Amino acid sequence: MTVEGIPCPEPGCEGTIEDGYCDITGLAYSADERYRLVDLANDVRPRTLT
């Protein structure tokens, strides 16, 4: 997996990265920036099988 083009070598790091993106959405300067951060968080969210 890569995040913004950088390899993510540690298993399970996707959840931590997702949490980080979600944490900084509150600091976004605009709605567009907030939506972009949420999209990035969704892109790295670990997938689960249902």
Contact in structure between 10 and 1 (CB atoms under 8 Å): no
Q: Phi and psi of 3, rounded to 5°?
A: -125, 115
Does residue 35 or residue 49 have the better pLDDT?
Answer: 35
Please report which confidence band the pLDDT of residue 50 belongs to, taking 50, 70 and 90 as the band edges.
low
Contact in structure between 24 and 37 (CB atoms under 8 Å): yes
Q: What is the pLDDT of residues 1-47, one digit of tens each?
A: 666 676 766 766 666 777 777 788 888 889 998 888 888 888 777 66
CA angle 38, 6, 22 (to 5 degrees): 20
